[in-house]
Amino acid sequence: MNSEDFRKYLHRHPELPCKEQATMAFIAEQLSELGIEYCPVSDAGLLARIEGRRGNLKRCVVLCADVSAMPIAELTTVEWASQMEGVMHAAGNDFNDALLYGVMKRLYANRDFEGTLLVLFQSGEMAGQGGARAILAEDVFNDYNVAAFISNYLDDSLEVGEIGFCPGRFMPSLDTLHFAVKNPNTAGSGTAKDSVVALSDLIMRLYTFNSDVCSLVVNRLSADGVAEKPAEQSHCEGKMWSFDEKLRARVKEMIAHMTEEIEYKYDVEICSDVRYGTPCVENNAQLTYEAMLLADTLGYAVKDLERRDLSSDFGYYSQLYPSLYYSLGVGAKSGRALTATFLPDERAIAVGEEFIYQLALNILNK
């Protein structure tokens, strides 16, 4: 099976996060036909391994791609469109899986390289789905010296043949905020005893943390009051993004102090729950610049990327290993990613496959 057919099969049979049993079974079947070793990792992934014929086999490069689809009803008219109602590979994960399949096929056919190539097909990369945490909990990389951990996403703002890079901090951490304000003294009617007043003060103070490296937003509010009586309880939920891990921890401490002040000021009780989510994705600078040089040498157009405002659990890997998360151009005619009509240009398969193949070899043989 070639990379294009591999991609089309996955596109026809998309599965939602944490439900990709058939997807994993298909990938395992294709690897078995090639003779490539693999093993399941927790319930969140499948890890393939190709050992080179020389060098230190404990030194490895890890290539990673998500296998999950999205709850979107496909509106393309291709003959290999999704056969699953209301489910589609709208982020192009089928495309990225095919790239790694093609790279493995080529490297397994000629294993004249140093070290070991590991390829991880992972469930639930998007923030909050827990794929990377489950993978790392299995300690599958502990016996290796990971020289590079590499993944990519498809970029409809770049044309085919263009590859985008951003050294350093690239994608923010994502945490969820939950606050419940309770006023046990609602017998009186003074507004100073109203939990909504206290909650409003809390929200206004939260927004003072916003800066170019940290962003907070409240996206849900509720209160149990009626017209004749102040609300005894009120609630809000929100999210916090940050490009600075130290600032992220500091803001959490500051929120705790802030809620104590508001409790005292309004004579209320506040249950504060800041739930840590995915960490910041930070690209290793040296690895990124080497990849940029390679892309240029191969004749591809190197593009400088701005920081993204989306989060990914690839950040867990970037906190532990030298990592690279880059973008592969698929062209504006592909439509917008994450929509029902997104259909990446197939010409980008050859570009992406060749670049990853050469990048993995360069790092392994370094």
Q: Domain boundaries in the chain?
A: 3-170+280-364, 173-278
- Which superfamily is assigned to 3-170+280-364 in CATH? Zn peptidases (3.40.630.10)
The pLDDT profile of the chain, 366 residues, written as one tens digit per residue, is 999 999 999 999 999 988 889 999 999 999 999 999 999 998 889 999 999 999 999 999 999 999 999 999 999 999 999 999 999 999 999 999 999 999 999 999 999 999 999 999 999 877 566 689 889 999 999 999 999 999 999 999 999 999 999 999 999 999 999 999 988 765 544 444 678 888 999 999 999 999 988 999 999 988 876 666 667 788 999 999 999 889 999 999 999 999 999 999 988 899 999 888 899 999 999 999 999 999 999 999 999 999 998 889 999 999 999 999 999 999 999 999 999 999 999 999 999 999 999 999 999 998
pTM flag (> 0.75): yes
Residue 186: per-residue pLDDT: 53
DSSP string, 146-200: EEEEEEEEEETTS-TTEEEE--EEEE-EEEEEEEEEE-S--SS--GGG-HHHHHH
- Residue 54 has a CB neighbour count (10 Å cut-off) of 12
| 304 three-state secondary structure | strand
Q: What sign has the CA pseudo-torsion 343, 345, 348, 350?
A: positive
Neighbour-count burial of 161, counting CB atoms closer than 10 A to its CB (0-12 exposed, 13-18 middle, 19+ buried): middle
| 97 three-state secondary structure | helix
Residue 314: per-residue pLDDT: 94
280: tokens are 């910041």
With vertex at residue 243, the alpha carbon angle to CA 239 and CA 248, rounded to the nearest 5 degrees, is 60
Structural fold of domain 173-278: Alpha-Beta Plaits (3.30.70)
Residue 192: per-residue pLDDT: 43
- Gyration radius of the chain's alpha carbons: 24
Query: How far is Cα 200 from Cα 44, in angstroms, rounded to an integer?
Result: 40
